[in-house]
Amino acid sequence: MKRIAILLLLCLMLPFISGCTAETEAPPETPAPTPTPVPVAPVESPVIILPPELAGTAVTLSASPLTQDNALYLSFEMNARGRQAQIPTGGYPLMLTFFAYNVDQFEPGYAPATASEVRYSGMPYKTRSVHLYSQNILTHTEQVPERGSPAGLFSPGKSYAYGVSIEIRRV
């Protein structure tokens, strides 16, 4: 009877003993893949958007921050000297759209491609109408956004981009 009791006890404990003594091999841990951020090239200022008719015309644009007005003072120059073959005798009526924006308000690497995109994007801009003749050197200065604009449109203390879109107006 003792033998039966011992055998019965061993039979009952066998599943517990076998579970404890069996070594289960854990699958090797594989590190979770981490996404590698793709670097986005910062926007290079100035952004100058020219129509094909004026390709090759020298355009310079520089900016000075106006911290008191939360704006940029833009200095524009377009040199049409030596372009008499590309510019008609009557010249071109132009619409200049100056703009400035803080880069953190848009997707990384964003730069507008058209004047319409500037106007509908919500960034501060100003337009001016000028006329370009061959052998002309156009100069113009502009403040963007203009004095008295609502607060928070632009901050020269943050990273920013600026530019000009040049369009030929159809008359």
* Confidence category of residue 17, pLDDT binned at 50, 70, 90: low
CA distance 59 to 55: 10
Question: Would you state the pLDDT for residue 147?
Answer: 83
CATH-assigned architecture of domain 47-168: Sandwich (2.60)
Instruction: Please state the rounded mean pLDDT for residues 113-125.
Output: 94
Q: What is the pLDDT of residues 39-72, one digit of tens each?
A: 656 677 899 999 999 988 999 999 999 988 999 9
CB atoms within 10 A of CB 129: 9
Tokens of 9: 């006890």
Query: Which residue reads 């990384």 in tokens?
Result: 108
Question: Would you state the pLDDT for residue 154?
Answer: 92
pLDDT surpassing 70 at residue 2: no
Question: Would you state the pLDDT for residue 19?
Answer: 54
Q: What is the pLDDT of residues 71-96, one digit of tens each?
A: 999 999 999 988 777 888 889 999 99
The pTM assigned to this predicted structure is 0.75
